[in-house]
Chain A
């Protein structure tokens, strides 16, 4: 098949776009802060769900890109009104983000390293998620060594309003 025809299929089906292009209309930061005890206490293999955010549900937006902020880019985040240290890439390489839909079916599995622009020559992980429920999305760490209640995760979500 002619490469130009392939690229036209990519364009039409939202499979690729120029990386220097405008990604989305809006973006916002969302957080997962860790705590000493309870739901967000560090534990290997535990699932940490995002707080509900209707603005990021499929009814209201299309998620066009996701960035995870490492300590190299911003040392401290202010998620949920608390100061939490972001994590280094050597620790973040143990984590995975799962995007789930209305039926809690996982539609995307994204190792954290994918989402760190600093680690990927500045390239954003571009997405086209149209059926996500934000509170069904979660993260998981194979190994929590080096993560305490002083730490938190900060994601920047790039999205278009519907």
Chain B
């Protein structure tokens, strides 16, 4: 059984902004060095507050109890959702035997990607879903 090798990684955050609403799309925050839309995403994993309490930006991470209320979608540079409404629970490495989710390498448009809530639970405004993106550059 294969597991992912980390070549480059960047922690990304999708933040609950404005109000907590079921179905609303909450986009990922911009990361300048990933904004050129030229990174090849080949794996990713999600963290709850149990794995990472706060992000480097100081934002509180959504708790483990609320993770089953969150689904994740990634869009590529053609606005195609190549990952669509995936339950985030099974993207947490500790929940799936230590395996990282791998995909066919694909160019990602991070700020066009988003999360949605299937239930509000006790999720609060300004909390974030923390996602580690494992990528390589097209030239590598």
B109 at the interface (CB under 8 A from A): no
A41 at interface, CB cutoff 8 A: no
Binary interface encoding of chain A residues 1-38 relative to chain B, with 1 for a CB under 8 A from any of its CBs, else 0: 10000110110011111111000000000000000000
Residues of A within 8 A of B49 (CB): 93
Q: Say whether B3 contacts A127, CB under 8 Å.
A: no
A109 to B2, CA, bound (A): 22
- Name the CB-closest residue of A to B140: A13
In the complex, the answer to whether A7 meets B2 with C-beta atoms within 8 Å is: yes
Q: Mark B1-37, 1 if CB is under 8 A from A, else 0.
A: 1111111111100000000000000000000010000
**Contact across chains for B93 and A120 when beta carbons are under 8 A apart:** yes
**Chain A 103-117 residues near chain B, CB threshold 8 A:** 105-111, 113-114, 117
A88 to chain B, nearest CB (A): 13
A128 to B53: give the CA distance in the assembly, Å. Answer: 27
Q: Of the candidates B3, B6, B53, which one forms a contact with A123 in the assembled complex, judged by CB atoms under 8 Å apart? A: B3
Where chain B touches its partner, the secondary structure class is strand
Tell me whether B51 and A142 are in contact (CB under 8 A): no
Cβ–Cβ < 8 Å partners of B130 in chain A: 111
A147: Cβ under 8 A from any B Cβ = no
Task: Decide: A120 and B105 in contact? CB cutoff 8 A.
Answer: no
For the complex of A and B, the 8 pairs showing the least CB-CB separation, nearest first, are A123-B98, A120-B98, A142-B54, A121-B98, A113-B51, A19-B3, A16-B2, A108-B9
A residues with CB within 8 A of B: 1, 6-7, 9-10, 13-20, 93-94, 96, 105-111, 113-114, 117, 119-123, 125-129, 140, 142-143
Additional A-B contacts beyond A121-B98, A123-B3 (9; CB < 8 A): A16-B2, A18-B2, A19-B2, A107-B9, A108-B10, A109-B9, A119-B51, A128-B5, A142-B58
19 pairs across A/B with beta carbons < 8 Å?
A: A7-B2, A15-B4, A15-B5, A16-B5, A93-B51, A94-B52, A94-B54, A107-B9, A109-B10, A110-B132, A111-B11, A113-B47, A113-B51, A114-B132, A120-B94, A121-B98, A123-B98, A125-B6, A142-B54
